[in-house]
């Protein structure tokens, strides 16, 4: 007797209508705009599924995007900066894993959104002078740990770390490469605690496999933009991404 094979996955068309654009934005973010638009992915998907489920579904997609991003920017990252950022980000992941079941995902999203909009307002209303000093290391450590924490909870680690790295005035290529390497390590570190929390079930992973072919398209678009875009336009688009992200996260928290 042959048992019928089943391949459980999400089949709701509405889920894919909101998720495919989210994955494309995430791919552009992973390769072209660091962390601006990418933080919109989970809030967009949360229109159709829960935040933890959306975060779990994106795990294999993120892994593929991270590998593609590393291949494209493997010679352009700032190694000294990464030596400082990665340990701080891992601390945030540990905190997120320990507190995950106690947290309201919408509250965390709202806090990230408020922080993002506050940083953006400060940058636009009080722009730094050309000779202004970079942010202090203690602030960088706090923001990067926050990035690891919010990345674990909702893949929304971009805005906090951007608040530290943007004022360092890296070139668009070095900024993108450094963020690509940082989030590769952070996302890789999330697999064990996500499994421990029971988020990597068969249904989520099967759905993720269906979405994998879309990932290279977003990454390819982002790579082209990062290598050809004017630095001034690059940061304006990054700020636009942060504004949309912050607004969406605050809206989700208040609904």
* Overall pTM surpassing 0.85 (yes/no): no
* Residue pointed to by tokens 């943007």: 166
Does residue 138 register a pLDDT over 70? Answer: yes
The pLDDT value given to residue 100: 78
Q: Residue 210, Cα to own-chain centre: how many angstroms?
A: 20
Cβ–Cβ < 8 Å for 26, 60: no
Does residue 34 register a pLDDT over 50? Answer: no
The pLDDT value given to residue 62: 86
Alpha-carbon span 246 to 104, nearest angstrom: 17
State the DSSP string of 55-90: HHHHHHHHHHHHHHHHHHHTTSS-HHHHHHHHHHHH
Range 174-200 average pLDDT: 88
CA distances from 89 to 36, 54, 60, 184, 235 (A): 18, 21, 20, 11, 23
Cβ–Cβ < 8 Å for 204, 7: no
Does residue 6 register a pLDDT over 60? Answer: no
- The terminus-to-terminus CA distance of the chain in angstroms comes to 52
The pLDDT value given to residue 182: 92
The pLDDT value given to residue 188: 92
Does residue 159 register a pLDDT over 80? Answer: no
Does residue 185 register a pLDDT over 50? Answer: yes
Question: Range with the lowest mean pLDDT among 55-69, 94-108, 202-216, 218-232?
Answer: 218-232
The pLDDT value given to residue 148: 92
């Amino acid at each position: 007797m042959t048992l019928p094979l089943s391949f459980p996955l999400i089949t709701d068309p509405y889920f894919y209508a909101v998720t495919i654009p989210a994955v494309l934005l995430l791919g552009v973010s992973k390769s072209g705009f660091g962390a601006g638009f990418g933080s919109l992915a989970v809030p967009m998907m949360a229109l159709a599924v829960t935040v933890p489920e959306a975060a779990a579904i994106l795990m294999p997609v993120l892994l593929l995007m991270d590998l593609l991003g590393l291949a494209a920017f493997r010679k352009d990252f700032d190694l000294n900066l990464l030596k400082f950022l990665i340990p701080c980000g891992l601390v945030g992941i540990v905190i997120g894993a320990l507190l995950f079941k106690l947290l309201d995902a919408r509250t965390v999203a709202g806090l990230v959104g408020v922080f993002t909009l506050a940083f953006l307002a400060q940058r636009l209303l009080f722009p730094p002078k050309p000779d202004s000093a970079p942010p202090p290391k203690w602030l960088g450590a706090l923001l990067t740990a926050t990035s690891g924490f919010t990345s674990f909870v909702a893949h929304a680690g971009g805005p906090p770390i951007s608040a530290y790295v943007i004022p360092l005035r890296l070139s668009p290529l070095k900024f993108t490469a450094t963020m690509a390497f940082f989030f590769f390590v952070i996302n890789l570190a999330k697999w064990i605690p996500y499994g421990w929390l029971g988020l990597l079930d068969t249904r989520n992973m099967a759905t993720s496999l269906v979405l994998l072919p879309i990932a290279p398209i977003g990454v390819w678009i982002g790579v082209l933009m990062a290598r050809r875009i004017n630095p001034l336009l690059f940061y304006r688009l990054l700020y636009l991404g942060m504004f949309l992200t912050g607004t969406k996260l605050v809206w989700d928290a208040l609904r």
